[in-house]
Amino acid sequence: MKAMIFAAGLGTRLRPVTNDKPKAMATIHGTTLLEITIRRLKNHGFKDIVVNVHHYADMITEFLESNKHFGINIQISDERALLLDTGGGLKQAARFFDDGKPFLVHNVDTLTDVSLKDFYDYHIKNRP
């Protein structure tokens, strides 16, 4: 299963926490929002993830590399030159989803205990 994590935003609502790092690197109990999101996706069966980056993009790419991409296929959709917002970010990453199969889109700052696998499976079963 494939997913996209939106992590390119400026994090303006989290200032001053995001003055020197992207929102994805903000922590809760010592764990970054990005790691929380990746681990949740991975635990629910998502093995191919694309993360879009813009604000402090190098911090995100270095974090992923230092964690060996959490043992799954994680790719970067680079928006350093221009922040593309939601629709543009999704369009920029479209090449990662060119197999015609469904994929999940997840914001890096969405914290939930919803079963992402059940959510995905429901979508597939009901063909919306």
69-110 pLDDT, tens digit per residue, is 999 999 999 999 888 888 999 999 999 998 988 899 999 999
Beta bridge partners of residue 27, listed in sequence order = 32
pTM, to two decimals: 0.92
Give the chain's end-to-end CA distance (angstroms, integer): 18
CA triple 107-61-10, angle to 5 deg = 45
Query: Residues 83, 12: contact at Cβ < 8 Å?
Result: no
Of 5, 20, 19, 3, give the one whose Cα is nearest residue 109: 5
- Statement: residue 58 has pLDDT above 80: yes
Q: Torsions phi, psi of 63, nearest 5? A: -60, -45
Tokens 């959510």 found at: 119
Alpha-carbon distance of 50 to 96, in angstroms, equals: 7
Can you give the C-alpha Rg of the chain in angstroms?
Answer: 14
What domains lie within the chain, and their CATH numbers? 2-126 (3.90.550.10)
- Statement: residue 53 has pLDDT above 90: yes
